[in-house]
Amino acid sequence: MILGGGYTAGPSLHGPKLASLAAADERANALGQPGSTAMKRIVILISGRGSNMRSIVQACESENWPARVAAVISNRADAAGLAFAEQHGIATAVVEHKAFAGREAFDAALAQAIDGHAPDVVVLAGFMRILGAECVRRYEGRMLNIHPSLLPAFPGLHTHRRAIEAGCKISGATVHFVTPALDHGPIVLQAAVPVLPADDEDALSKRVLAKEHVIYPRAVRWFIEGQLRTERGVVTQVLGEPQLVS
């Protein structure tokens, strides 16, 4: 399970809620501003094979981003993606969640591992742990996640099964900023995938994953190159590139 979250924008916003939203927007917009020559640092969190992590690493290298993947961190020592990272000369670390008595202790150890690499952006790529609100806020405006549905539809688990059972004709994936509510962060980029009459959960999952490998590197690059603007919880691609892929 992964965390997302968002703010409700509109006329009803006022007082502390509006101030919190504005502060989050400022943090997001202050990061990755265009014109910076500094090499940005990316830390990626995984729990398994890390296929989205691989697509980001490969895109960063082949497209010559002004960035590098500084580290790949997992909560599982047997995560297959760690070997891929090591083969590409990327630092790796394991923070086993089972070694800690509770979420707060795990979050603190994970944050220490992340901060050791001074990331400009933290990318959740199949990281199957729920992070506490304090940990999420630590990286507010600079933590991205991908979720296998067209949010806000079907947050949480078993998204493909639920989409098929609901009779959806279209599904997809969403890249979003992470905030403390589950899978409801400001949306950066989405990919739409048709749900075919013969689809089962596995068939739909494979087609959505293929789109994830396209949109996640693109969204991370936009962030790195300062091409995202957030206002009242709504993310805009400042160069006008499409934020929906089909």
CA distance 186 to 63: 26
Where do we find the tokens 């949109």?
A: 215
Q: Are strands 170-177 and 187-194 parallel, antiparallel or unpaired?
A: antiparallel
Residue 138 has pLDDT above 60, yes or no: yes
pLDDT value for 12: 33
3-state SS class at 190 = strand
Catalogue the active-site residues.
147
CATH number corresponding to 27-245 = 3.40.50.170
Buried b (16+ CB within 10 A) or exposed e, 9-18: beeebeeeee
pLDDT value for 38: 83
pLDDT bin (cut points 50, 70, 90) of residue 25 is low
Residue 6 has pLDDT above 70, yes or no: no
CA distance 171 to 165: 12
Distance set, CA 232 to CA 56, 143, 160, 194 (Å):
28, 17, 30, 30
pTM as predicted: 0.87
pLDDT value for 31: 52
Residue-range domain boundaries for the chain: 27-245
The percent of residues above 90 in pLDDT, for the chain, comes to: 84
Tokens of 234: 């709504």
Exposed / middle / buried, residue 148 (Cβ in 10 Å: 0-12, 13-18, 19+)? buried
The percent of residues above 70 in pLDDT, for the chain, comes to: 85
Tokens of 135: 């940990």
3-state SS class at 91 = strand
pLDDT value for 16: 45
Residue 236 has pLDDT above 90, yes or no: yes
**Tens of pLDDT, residues 173-232:** 999 999 999 999 999 999 999 999 999 999 999 999 999 999 999 999 999 999 999 999
**Tens of pLDDT, residues 33-91:** 554 558 999 999 999 999 999 999 999 999 999 999 999 999 999 999 999 999 999 99
- Which residue, among 141, 121, 149, has the nearest Cα to 45 in the 3D structure? 121
Strand order in the sheet with 121-124: 91-94, 67-74, 40-46, 121-124, 143-147, 170-177, 187-194, 244-245
pLDDT value for 201: 98
pLDDT value for 36: 53
Reported for 64-67, long-range contacts at CB under 8 A and 24+ positions apart, including other chains, are: 65/40, 65/221, 65/224, 65/225, 66/36, 66/37, 66/38, 66/39, 66/40, 66/224, 66/225, 67/39, 67/40, 67/41, 67/42, 67/120, 67/224
CA distance 185 to 180: 8
Task: Provide the mean pLDDT of the chain.
Answer: 89
Q: From the CA atom positions of the chain, what is the Rg in Å?
A: 17
